[in-house]
Amino acid sequence: MQIDILTLFPNMFENVLGESMLKIAQKKGIAKIAVHNLRDWTYDNHKTADDKPFGGGPGMVMKVEPVFLALEELGVRVKGPGSGVQRKKKVILLTPQGKRFNQKTAKRLSKEKQLILICGHYEGIDERIRDLVDEEISIGDYILTCGELPAMVLVDSVIRLIPGVLGKVESLSFESFESGLLEYPQYTRPAEYMGMKVPEVLLSGDHKKIGSWRMEQAHERTRERRPDLLKKKR
């Protein structure tokens, strides 16, 4: 998979993309991630990528021209500002006005060959940018300073679902949200610490009992913390 990220703050991605599973996926050649500075597609001396909104109002608005030119250079066949894109590559805008991101969306996007992520910023974006994208995504009902953080969340969530990134395929099937339940409690050595003991069933070696216990715990934890997930499962 190829992922291209269009951002005004490329340095924000350096540490995140160079650690853990994202680093492994790139070393294995399973994923290629390129971070592009939108200011590279500006032509004034100040590298201006934002401007005051027409009609007045607080803050600054991201300009349409740098996004338009960046998409063209990345091979997206843009017909013209305000007239849409010939959709050959999945272009996503990270914005609080987008559709809520979830595991189902992550699975769908993990099957794409190329994603181009546009990180919104400032007070908003020029509305014409929306004509250049396939999809708008939000990671939750709250406001962040920028779209860079949601882009990192999306990239991490999607790449780990690509075959070969995680060591074992089974690792995915037992995670929260994969089965419609929250994950069961996990323990490791030592078996007792400061008076806190690991449940006896996990030390029994009886895999059938362990499986039943884990399923019961997953249902109980979901009922207590996310009853809405149980309603969807039903």
Tens of pLDDT along 89-115? 999 999 999 999 999 999 999 999 999
Tens of pLDDT along 39-57? 999 999 999 999 999 999 8
Domain with residue 200: its CATH number is 1.10.1270.20
pTM for the whole structure: 0.87
- Regarding whether 101 and 38 lie in a shared domain, the answer is yes
Residue 4 and residue 162 in contact, taking contact as beta carbons nearer than 8 Å: no
Mean pLDDT value across the chain: 91
Sign of the dihedral defined by the CA atoms of residues 7, 10, 14, 16, in that order: negative
Q: Is 165 part of any domain?
A: no
Look at the chain and report how many structural domains it folds into: 2
DSSP state of 134: S
If pLDDT is split at 50, 70 and 90, which confidence band does 121 have?
confident
Please determine, for residue 219, whether its predicted confidence score (pLDDT) is greater than 80.
yes
- Rounded alpha-carbon distances, angstroms, from residue 121 to 69, 103, 127, 147, 192: 18, 25, 13, 6, 49
- Regarding whether 128 and 59 lie in a shared domain, the answer is yes
- Regarding whether 149 and 118 lie in a shared domain, the answer is yes
- Regarding whether 147 and 112 lie in a shared domain, the answer is yes
Please give the angle made by the CA atoms of 149, 153 and 154, to the nearest 5 degrees: 115
pLDDT of residue 178: 72
Domain hosting 14: range is 2-159
**Phi/psi at 178 (nearest 5 deg)?**
-70, -40
pLDDT of residue 180: 85
> Of the residues 124, 159, 194, which one is the last residue of a structural domain?
159
Please determine, for residue 172, whether its predicted confidence score (pLDDT) is greater than 80.
no
Of all residues in the chain, what percent carry a pLDDT higher than 70?
91
> Of the residues 100, 130, 159, which one is the last residue of a structural domain?
159
